[in-house]
Amino acid sequence: MPEQIMTQPITQIISPDLKFVKDIIASGGESLKKCYQCSTCTVVCNVTPDDKPFPRKEMMYAQWGMKDKLISNPDIWLCHQCSDCTAYCPRGAKPGEVLGAIRKMAIANYSVPGALAKMVGNSKYLLMLFAVPIVIFFAIIASLGNLSLSSIPRGEDGGIVYSKFIPVPAIDTVFIAAATFAAISFVLGIKKYWADMSAGISVQGNLMGSIKATITEILAHKRFEKCNVTKDRKTAHLLVFYAFAGLAITTTWAIVYLYGFHYDSPYPLYDPLKLLGNASALALLYGITLVTGNRLKNAEKAGKGSYFDWLFIAVIYAIVVTGILSELLRLANIAILAYPTYFAHLVFVFFLFAYAPFSKMAHMVYRATAMVFARHTKRD
């Protein structure tokens, strides 16, 4: 009852961070101010703990610009954006979208260098971001004299061999550098995030157990099953997730072939590596199409998504489409299209890897970390 609040001493003076509020609004949380704190959202949410549930309190923190209470809050990542809250929100405040925007800002807050995160989150810098891999790969091709496509050496059977267009060691060098950069950025980000989360909380006990349990849960995608409005996301996300896993295995396998057995690509279609790669590519195409379809289908109830979301989806689409086309065009021996497509494929893959800590790809790492923390601290 109101009197109870009145009699409690004021223990905290809130200084709203107005810029933070504006940033949330600009990041896809434009409906934030419509919230009138009725708490329908927390009740319809099936993934929140019952104790201090989200997202009602997050909506309040966001309206007041209480950045510290949000950015380091594991709850924003326990949210899987089922959008049940958004569908039932009586005011159209779209808590799911607002938390999505806050997660984007959390990624920008923790990733190093932060400036790059701002660029990934803003369409103004899109061309500049793409320019980096374009320049790198262009320089490699130019240095090999492969700008004239007809002069690129062919394989023994006269077929297209991409490694003669851009040598695999050159690609590997670029990607190892990109991946190392991303990994360092992730490690620094997560370290800071963990420190912020655990500030003032004694974190003890069996961390490995929490990690193991979290991984098991992620592998099974259990939490998606609790969503109502966007129930069909489980299949879509599961496909994309395992397709990426398959492609990661394929890539490692290719490294073993090349450097372990000095076995050069292209590999025949019946090679198990090729079978796995192609199956994964098709799964990814199907999965990301489902993701897109679900998002469009649920847009009215769940919200239309932000630039940050759609950039990530578009890049995955571009990777899988250029990847499949590269293979088909190589097999069809259409050089004029095959080489540029392969080039584009490399550019998109670079984009995904190098900018992973700053893009929505980072959700994988931050959400997993938050889930481990929540489990470890008995929050979840």
Partner 1 sequence: MPDVNRILVIGGGFSGLTTAVDAAETGAEVIVIEKNPYLGGRVAQLNKYFPKLCPPICGLEINFRRIKTNPNITFYTMAEVESIAGGPGDYNVTVKVNPRHVNDNCVACDACAQACPAERPNEYNFGMDKTKAAFLPFNQAFPQKYVIDSAHCKGDCGKVCKEACKYNAIDLDMKPETINLNVSSVVVATGWNPYDANKLDILGFGSIKNVITNMMMERLASPTGPTAGKIVRPSDGKPVQNIAFVQCAGSRDENHLPFCSYVCCLASLKQTTYIREQNPESKATIFYIDIRTPGRWNEKFYSKVKEDPNVSFIKGKVASIAQDEGSDDVVVTAEDMMTGNKVKMKFDMVVLATGMEPSGAAKKISGVNYNENGFALPNLGIHSAGCSKNPMDVARSAQDATGAAMKAISTAKLAGQGR
Q: Interface with partner 1 includes 154 (CB under 8 A)?
A: no
List the Cα angle 347/351/355 in 5-degree steps.
160
Q: DSSP of 232-278, one letter per residue? A: THHHHHHHHHHHHHHHHHHHHHHHIIIIIH--PSPPPTTSHHHHHHH
Q: Interface with partner 1 includes 51 (CB under 8 A)?
A: yes
Interface residue with partner 1 among 25, 33, 39, 179 (CB under 8 A) is: 39
Q: Terminus-to-terminus CA distance in the chain, angstroms?
A: 29
Interface residue with partner 1 among 25, 30, 33, 40 (CB under 8 A) is: 40
CA quadruple 108, 37, 197, 360: dihedral sign: negative
Q: Interface with partner 1 includes 88 (CB under 8 A)?
A: yes
| Structure token pair of residue 304 | 């239309």
Distance, in Å, from the CA atom of 209 to the CA atom of 211, rounded to the nearest integer, reads 5
CB of 91 to partner 1, least distance (A): 6
CB of 309 to partner 1, least distance (A): 24
Nearer to partner 1, 5 or 127 (CB): 5
CB of 131 to partner 1, least distance (A): 44
CB of 82 to partner 1, least distance (A): 14
Q: Interface with partner 1 includes 65 (CB under 8 A)?
A: no
Q: Interface with partner 1 includes 19 (CB under 8 A)?
A: no
Interface residue with partner 1 among 6, 7, 50, 127 (CB under 8 A) is: 50
Q: Interface with partner 1 includes 286 (CB under 8 A)?
A: no
The window from 46-54, 144-152, 345-353, 357-365 that contacts partner 1 (CB under 8 A) reads 46-54
Interface residue with partner 1 among 14, 38, 131, 176 (CB under 8 A) is: 38
Backbone angles phi, psi at 178, to 5 degrees: -65, -45
CB of 92 to partner 1, least distance (A): 5
Residue in the structure block whose two tokens are 């499949």: 324
Q: Interface with partner 1 includes 42 (CB under 8 A)?
A: yes
Nearer to partner 1, 48 or 341 (CB): 48
Nearer to partner 1, 42 or 72 (CB): 42
Nearer to partner 1, 48 or 326 (CB): 48
Nearer to partner 1, 51 or 156 (CB): 51
Q: Interface with partner 1 includes 237 (CB under 8 A)?
A: no
Q: Interface with partner 1 includes 378 (CB under 8 A)?
A: no
User: Minimal CA–CA distance to 100: which of 83, 81, 115, 113?
Assistant: 81
User: Minimal CA–CA distance to 356: which of 151, 181, 164?
Assistant: 181
CB of 37 to partner 1, least distance (A): 7
CB of 350 to partner 1, least distance (A): 44
Task: Please list, residue by residue across 313-352, b when 16 or more beta carbons sit within 10 angstroms of its beta carbon and e when fewer do.
Answer: bebbbbbbbbbbbbbebbeeeebeebbebbbbbbbbbbbb
Q: Interface with partner 1 includes 300 (CB under 8 A)?
A: no
Interface residue with partner 1 among 14, 16, 18, 92 (CB under 8 A) is: 92
Distance, in Å, from the CA atom of 215 to the CA atom of 226, rounded to the nearest integer, reads 18
Q: DSSP of 295-332, one letter per residue? A: HHHHHHHH----HHHHHHHHHHHHHHHHHHHHHHHHHH
Distance, in Å, from the CA atom of 117 to the CA atom of 360, rounded to the nearest integer, reads 10
User: Minimal CA–CA distance to 58: which of 74, 76, 44, 78?
Assistant: 76
Nearer to partner 1, 52 or 191 (CB): 52
Distance, in Å, from the CA atom of 317 to the CA atom of 335, rounded to the nearest integer, reads 22
Q: Interface with partner 1 includes 163 (CB under 8 A)?
A: no
Footprint on this chain of partner 1 (rule: CB under 8 A): 1, 4-5, 36-44, 48, 50-53, 56-57, 88, 90-92
